[in-house]
Amino acid sequence: MNQLDQLKQYTTVVADTGNFRQLAAFAPRDATTNPSLILKAVQQPEYAPLLAETVAAHKGQPLDEIVDHVLVRFGREILKVVPGRVSTEVDARLSFDTAATVARARRIMALYEDSGIGRERVLIKVASTWEGIQAARILQHQGIQCNLTLLFAFCQAVACGDAGVRLISPFVGRIYDWHKKAAGAAWDEAANSGANDPGVKSVAQIYTYYKRFGIDTEVMGASFRNIGQILALAGCDLLTISPELLAQLQAGSAPVARALDPAVCTKAQVHALSFNEASFRWALNEDAMATEKLAEGIRAFAADAAKLDKMIGAL
């Protein structure tokens, strides 16, 4: 078996793309999107008619509603290819507004349901701010499953577990990027690869904690820079992988061993934690990497959401 097929023995493979025409070749179970991926997709000529058609069908509606129709249209096309779930993201500019996030998530889910897609096939993506996590708590109670994204700190993962979030997306590659940049000339790539990669270590810590305390929230490693990071997390609940890295795994034939094992985690010597708003904000503040990457990620997604707005507004 190639490395992708071997990986699928231990982990649910998810495609990280808005390009639904690429999906079938890798047979992922789920797919994830975000504003940047959707923006990248709609700029490709083959998707221009889909975008124009969707915008034309909802002409005269407020811009934010048209945007949600576009996001859901891409999600629906993806669900024709994958057998599982698609993740659709709430506007990142609402990351610090719990009520607005809940309202937008409900609207996105209603659009899916109006088109005949059941709730079990959709995850609403929300940034892992305190406000985002509280929005997810409300949404989960209402039967709307959430994927908490831009997760970099352990306190974010603990708070998501306490909120009953369905799934979290810790960002392996961006954690790696920060530590590599911070180390500068002192960075030793070989010493910080595989299980020693700082992003891999972060996901392994979260996975161990969840399994040790029987937390049902699924862990989906995200934002990979190389297949070494992916293989070091074989056994994680899910891994969301770009088409480029999926192709590399498909082309590889070296053996893939399970790296994360829930049976081992249940014996881990770790302590249960909980956070209120004040202690969560303090723990996040104390983690310079997480603070910087969360803010940077929200800004980047917000900028791409604004570009998508402009593109749609011009049609």
Measured between its terminal Cα atoms, the distance across the chain in Å is: 47
Structure tokens at 303: 């900028």
Q: How far, in Å, CA of 198 to CA of 210, rounded?
A: 19
Intervals of the chain under pLDDT 50? none
| Residues acting as catalytic residues | 125
At residue 93, the pLDDT reads 98
Q: What are phi and psi of 2, to 5 degrees?
A: -75, 170
At residue 35, the pLDDT reads 87
Structure tokens at 304: 């791409």
**CA dist list (Å): 42 to 81, 123, 304, 307:** 18, 21, 12, 11
Find residue 15's DSSP bridge partners: 31, 241
At residue 226, the pLDDT reads 98
Q: Give the position of tokens 């940034």.
A: 127
Quote the strand ranges of 208-270, DSSP E. Answer: 218-221, 238-241
